[in-house]
Chains A and B, each alone.
Chain A
Amino acid sequence: NAGVTQTPKFRILKIGQSMTLQCTQDMNHNYMYWYRQDPGMGLKLIYYSVGAGITDKGEVPNGYNVSRSTTEDFPLRLELAAPSQTSVYFCASSPAGGLASTDTQYFGPGTRLTVL
């Protein structure tokens, strides 16, 4: 299994441009997540999905959109990129078959985004 894969690894955007960060998992997990990590900080949740067709906002959703048309894919869309969106973006997935308290999240390698 490849686990959670993310593309691209790096990207530089100009202010106002848009892009989609791709995330795919091959573990048949129901739950998927997008986090961002600013320098020296912990991760913050942007959006999450509990299954195909179902998404919801996390702590910092402004400026982002998501969709979940399949179990495997959970793309993150940035519209009108701003310097404040310069960050490292991590996608994660979890089976969520049991209690939230014991579920393990599996993370991708991240996408490093710079907005200039």
Chain B
Amino acid sequence: DAKTTQPNSMESNEEEPVHLPCNHSTISGTDYIHWYRQLPSQGPEYVIHGLTSNVNNRMASLAIAEDRKSSTLILHRATLRDAAVYYCILRDPYQSFGNEKLTFGTGTRLTIIP
């Protein structure tokens, strides 16, 4: 599986935008980029995913570099509820049938400062 690299931790002020980077220099042309987050003492939850174009949803935006070797998750206005560990995950559509596991790294722990 192609690997991702994320900073261990980041801090941001409340109500400020947050840019969470992810490097994936060995990404294949068909890998999708997924982001999940894990709030304290909870299971992970899906945030967003994309392939080549930038993506927006109600939770966040995903900016993907033109060469696809990096991406950035953008929280437009961080709140205290956004404090979590954020995971950047690559998913290969040509995985063996049924082997659709998510490969979690250690993610980025985001701290929001009031």
Q: Which residues does A use to contact B, with CB under 8 Å? A: 4, 31, 33, 35, 40-45, 48, 50, 54, 56, 58-59, 90, 92, 94, 96, 99-110
Contacts and interface: CB of A to CB of B under 8 A. Distances in A.
B58 interface: no
A107 B44 contact: yes
Contact of B91 (A45, A54, A101): A101
Contact of B92 (A33, A100, A105, A106): A100
Interface residues of B, number: 27
Interface string B64-89: 00000000000000000000000100
Interface of B: 30-32, 41-46, 49, 51, 87, 91-93, 95, 97-107
B43 A42 contact: no
A42 B101 contact: no
Nearest to A92: B43
A105 B102 contact: yes
Given A31-B100, A42-B107, 20 more contacts: A31-B98, A35-B104, A40-B106, A41-B106, A42-B105, A43-B102, A44-B104, A48-B98, A48-B99, A56-B99, A90-B43, A92-B43, A92-B44, A100-B95, A101-B31, A101-B91, A102-B49, A103-B100, A104-B46, A110-B43
